[in-house]
Structure 1
Amino acid sequence: MQRAAVLLTLISTSAALRPEWMPGDYSQTVVGAQTFVEDYNSTAEEVFYFSTEANWKYNTNLTVHNSQQQVIAFLEELEFTEAWCQKAKDTFPDSFIETLNPEVQIILSNIKVLGPANLPTSERERYNTILSQMDSIYSTAKVCRSPEECWSLEPELIDIMANSRSYKRLLYAWEGWHNEAGDHLRSLYPEFVELSNKAFRMDGFSDTGAYWRSLYESLTFEQDLENLFIQLEPLYQNLHAFVRRKLYDFYGPKYINLKGPIPAHLLGNMWSQNWNIYNMMIPFPDKTNVDVTDTMVAQGYNATHMFRVAEEFFTSLGLIPMPDKFWDKSMLEKPSDGRDVVSHASAWDFYNRKDFSKLNRCFMDNEGLIDAVQAFDCSSCDFMNAKKIEKLAKQYDKHIDDELLQIHKNC
């Protein structure tokens, strides 16, 4: 793609890590390990803020220039990761780490995982360029009925999936977007998987999936999930059957098989993630309606008003109000100036102990999480856990796109 060529031309090599971000010398003692962790955290504040700020600018304005700056910032973050990882490996062997308190053990062990920073410079650049390209493809894919009429993911396609009840219209929107995004992503994703697996194998994992599972710190993680699924399966089967029957009553046997799966495009969401079909599923129609959307529309609610009302609720619980920067810098609605943006709801932690709260078209529950995070004392924020939770959030649901859990950083 032309965009990739431009990026690789602009970014020939990653710059050396800034001297003030380099690790110092530390003794192989309890005090030395604690000092190392504290220095890592304070330095990480600056590095991760720089990287996240560049990522934010790109997500809210998908230009080649901003993508280039994002890649540069990410590469510098990888340089930081590599430098501190190597210092930890050289100074604190595993046998010594095992003698430390559990919290320091976990932090040092996580610092010693390089991930993409294991890759040679050219492959690091390629890795992040692919991520940047995939973000752009995902966010800018459109379904065009004609050259004059194209539907963006947000708001047009999201609105169609949530509100239309036409089987054919929903199928057209669903297939059109998945084909448009998927066809372009297909050529990039295998290379991303290859580079990611290569990076984490160099850390001793069998592949990236093994690394992801290790973040849960459970030797029985897969069996734990299986046990949870077994407990939830009867409830889910009944819910599935109820929804399928209601859809059958509406669409009929031509489209719904009462013994088969539910067509994904009928659940009100492009990814069958949030089922926006409650008005078709109301189990007790004579009871008071819990959906207050019509009332909110009649009262003139907009995005800002909804966030203000949500803020009133959280402050009534004793949590602190949103800072001025939240209202000044957040992107609560898709810009009307024509720029391409990543429109999926996301809450951002900028790793500087004060700016937790930039939102990108965020859902209301995100504001609650931000309020809760702001209420904690962040004098000892653990940046390894912050990045760790961020990775868990991303692997849990890429559609959330750096959402919800990014605002937690163990504080």
Structure 2
Amino acid sequence: MKKSRYVLPLVLTLAIAGCSEQSNSQGGGTAAGEQAGAQQRPPAKVSVITMKQAEQPVTRVLPGRAVAYQKAEIRPRVNGLIEQITFKEGSEVKVGDLLYKIGDDTYNAALAEAKAALAKAEASVPSAQANFDRYQRLVNSGATQIEYENARVTLLQAQADVAQAKAALQSAEINLGYTEIRAPFDGITSISNVSIGNIVTANQTTALTTLRKIDPIYVDLTDSSANLLELRSAIAAGRLKGNPTQADIRLTLEDGMKYNKTGKLDMAEMAVSETTGTYQIRAVFDNPENIILPGTYLRATVTVGYENGFLIPQRAATRNANGTLTAKFVGAENKVQSRTFEHTQLSGNSWLVTENIKDGDKLIVDGFQWIADGAPVAPVDATLDENGFVVETPAAAPQETPAAKP
């Protein structure tokens, strides 16, 4: 009876072991089948473009802000009461157009008073002149030298009074003219800060309105001093062709649209900011439709020169942990290989490279994210748009349908 207690567990253990061996045998067969199926899968199709060396533009993308071509804060130059506001706020005005009219009653009275003072001063000159002429004739025949000198001083004083009165008259005329505030140049007005009936004072702190000329318009760009040094080194080495001072500049608006006018470099600041390590570049653009407004944030693409090399679309490349540009190519036996590029230049929506690449190389531009190095692929020639997207891939030949087995 004691032996029977150990027989049943022994039988169960042997049975479980047999089932486990059978299961492992079946699992191994399944894995082997999957491996065989994987080996029979066709290579993945990838879109490729053929590399060709050519002279390509070297560009910089810089942030910037639009600035009015001309700007003036309009202030009064005399005291008085605003009687007229002759412009529509936010409208275009021409040089010399009347903007504000200040009450001129007191200035007309001052002008009349200045005219009267001039007339009085001029009336005293003839008698003083005649008296001087008489004493000049008599100075050696009865008239004393003192009388002659007094006559001469009286004449000079009368002439000085006339000059003073003329200056006062001119000042009165100028002040009267200042009661009409006119546009100093063609531009667009802002909101008026005063209304009819307000009292204004000469050269007050608050501007009456602001006038801006925005056609053409300036765009102030910011670039790093490191880029400036790199650009100068490339020019000195002869790698970069063209004159950066005559560079074409194109704008991208805040909504991502391309501005249809090309700008030119106007000036570059000959100093680097001590806090940011950047320097300022000013470009000028035609703005006939007033699309660009002062203060607008913009991105500018500046063509600084041309260099021979190969273009790798930005969407077909990545950066490794060290920040080095990497891209995948179709190598020997149609297997994937990665390449790195230490020195790169920006060229529009692509990277311009000059090393570790040659004519005829096949760059993978689509599907490279999921393919490891050494994997076999089936390259298919593709066409890219200006943004680096695949827009056309020739259709692959249709596969033949296997004949049905009898």
Q: TM-score, normalised by structure 2?
A: 0.19
Higher helix share: 1
Q: TM-score, normalised by structure 1?
A: 0.19
Higher strand share: 2
Structure with more contact order per residue of length (Cα contacts < 8 Å, sep ≥ 6): 2
